[in-house]
């Protein structure tokens, strides 16, 4: 395998991701950025199962060959104590000063705290300085995703059991939540979806999420809208019904610029409840266009196939 983009390595959905040492990359609940021509990714280090161990950072040229860069956030006290839950690291690059802002799901071990955490660093890797947490506009916030618009304005996608899947506008420095854009519910339910991620393509926003089933997998869904405030389309399945999204939960849909235009990669987790550390990654090309998103299974692929 090679990190040379002209000869990308092979990605095997349903297998664990290995780093340069042959260790299982702790890229669970992945967040990912393309920075300076390289992918930087952060994940939940599940060495202690669901209890907080660290946020690990890796980099890659081709999404197949990964270099372990170190721990971006490590155990400490208070909200980062070993009995806490710290999940779904999502990093935004602040163009104004080059800082990297990491947003996180911060929780107690019983998932009752439901807060949004924030940390900041000068480099993508480390050290990140933990700044604290908030409940966005007083609301519950568990699984999160982030989105940066063309004008660099930042958005938080957040699962709020009381009000649905929330889209919030972030402050210009990305460090706090400024205002609510809209709330989306699952049809017939009083809650929304979790593990949200969003991309914009050909003038339409595509918002993805999963149902609320703990570590069990379900048929994930997406909706589209011409404006973040809506109107949003009905929710649709992105993979064959009953496949549980090819036994995975979406974490991120990653835009990738190719020689023939922008393409998308679905990055999901195949959670192994009793051995979260070794949960395989399900990363697949995701076809997006004309208001539809479609995930199809392939055993192997490379970035050149996008």
Least CB distance from residue 296 to ligand DGJ, whole Å?
A: 23
Measured in whole angstroms, the distance separating CA 244 from the mean position of its chain's CA atoms is: 18
| CB-based contact 211:197 (threshold 8 Å) | no
Answer left, alpha or beta for residue 111, where phi above 0 means left and psi between -120 and 50 means alpha: left
Which residue's CB is nearer to ligand DGJ, number 29 or number 192? 29
Least CB distance from residue 271 to ligand DGJ, whole Å?
A: 8
Which residue's CB is nearer to ligand DGJ, number 71 or number 87? 87
Q: Two tokens at 217?
A: 């997998």
Which residue's CB is nearer to ligand DGJ, number 84 or number 88? 88
Least CB distance from residue 198 to ligand DGJ, whole Å?
A: 16
Which residue's CB is nearer to ligand DGJ, number 105 or number 263? 105
Least CB distance from residue 7 to ligand DGJ, whole Å?
A: 35
Partners of 157 in beta bridges: 145, 167
Least CB distance from residue 49 to ligand DGJ, whole Å?
A: 11
Which residue's CB is nearer to ligand DGJ, number 244 or number 263? 244
Residues that bind ligand DGJ (CB under 6 A): 29, 87-88, 143, 194-195, 214-215
Name the residue with the smallest CB distance to ligand DGJ: 214
Query: How close are the terminal C-alpha atoms of the chain, in Å?
Result: 17
* Exposure class string for 91-121: b at 16+ Cβ within 10 A, else e: bbbbeeeebbbbbbbbbeeeeebbbbbbbbb
Measured in whole angstroms, the distance separating CA 82 from the mean position of its chain's CA atoms is: 23
């Amino acid at each position: 395998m090679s990190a040379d983009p002209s000869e990308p390595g092979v990605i095997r959905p349903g297998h664990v991701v290995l780093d340069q040492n042959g260790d299982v990359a702790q890229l669970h609940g992945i967040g990912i950025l393309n920075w300076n021509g390289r992918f930087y990714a952060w994940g939940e280090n599940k060495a202690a199962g669901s209890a907080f161990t660290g946020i690990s950072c890796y980099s890659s040229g081709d999404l197949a060959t990964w270099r372990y860069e170190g721990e971006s956030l490590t155990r400490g006290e208070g909200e980062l104590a070993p009995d806490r839950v710290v999940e779904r690291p999502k990093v935004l690059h602040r163009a104004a000063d080059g800082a990297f802002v990491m947003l996180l799901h911060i929780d107690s071990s019983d998932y009752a705290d439901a807060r949004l955490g924030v940390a900041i660093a000068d480099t993508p890797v480390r050290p990140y300085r933990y700044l604290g947490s908030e409940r966005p506009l007083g609301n519950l916030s568990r699984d999160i995703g982030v989105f940066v618009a063309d004008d660099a304005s930042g958005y938080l996608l957040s699962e709020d059991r009381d009000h649905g899947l929330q889209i919030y506008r972030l402050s210009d420095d990305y460090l706090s939540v400024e205002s609510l854009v809209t709330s989306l519910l699952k049809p017939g339910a009083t809650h929304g979806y979790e593990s949200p991620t969003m991309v914009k393509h050909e003038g339409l926003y595509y918002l993805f999420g999963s149902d609320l089933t703990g570590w069990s997998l379900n048929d994930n869904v997406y909706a589209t809208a011409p404006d973040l405030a809506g109107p949003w389309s009905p929710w649709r399945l992105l993979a064959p019904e009953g496949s549980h999204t090819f036994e995975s939960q979406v974490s991120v849909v990653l835009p990738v610029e190719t020689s023939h235009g922008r393409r998308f990669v679905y990055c999901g987790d195949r959670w192994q409840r009793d051995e979260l550390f070794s949960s395989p990654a399900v990363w697949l090309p995701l076809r997006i266009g004309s208001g539809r998103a479609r995930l199809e299974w392939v055993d192997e692929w490379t970035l050149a196939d996008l």
